[in-house]
Amino acid sequence: MKVSSRGEYGVRAMVALAKNYGDGPMSIAAVSKASSVPTAYLEQLIGPLRRAGLVKSTRGAHGGYQLTRDPYEVRVGDVYRVMEGPVAPMECVSEDISEQTCPLIAGCETRPVWLQMRDAIANTLDSTTLGDLISQSPRRSSRGGGVGGKQPTAVG
């Protein structure tokens, strides 16, 4: 399974917005520069992210785009699905497809491996937040140890 540039650029743009979380809106040019996503392409990606409720826009001289919630509450899987659609290494195991799509499903010997692959990818995407990506980054912001000064909480 390959992630398209749409998925990659969408996640990169959201990470740029996450790094700026709490500092007000970012202009499209600033998001483009911070994420290395071409402005024209970024303009195409922001719309679906806004419609999905992940990003909000503010008009005016100091307007721009910002996350609608804390980066530790935005899963990479949320962004991925807006950009790419359901997680599916093969059409017959798509997250949103019924079992009637393939006549071989009932006795398919290979389907279990594709389901396992889909679930592993989905679990990785859904267990990682934008905040996690920033806190794990070698280019991590020096603004007080995390996004908005927050530290991730240990699970366990």
pLDDT for 41: 95
C-beta separation of 10 from 49 below 8 A: yes
Identify the band that residue 82 occupies on the pLDDT scale cut at 50, 70 and 90.
very high
User: DSSP of 53-113, one letter per residue?
Assistant: TSEEEE-STT-EEEESS-GGG-BHHHHHHHHH-S--SSGGG-TT--GGG-TTGGG-SSHHH
Q: pTM for the complete prediction?
A: 0.82
77 or 110, greater pLDDT: 77
Identify the band that residue 62 occupies on the pLDDT scale cut at 50, 70 and 90.
confident
CATH level 3 topology of 5-143: Arc Repressor Mutant, subunit A (1.10.10)
Sketch the domain layout of the chain as residue ranges.
Answer: 5-143
Q: Does residue 89 carry a pLDDT above 80?
A: yes
Task: Please write the tens of the pLDDT for every residue from 91-144.
Answer: 778 877 655 567 777 788 888 898 999 999 999 999 999 999 999 877 654 444
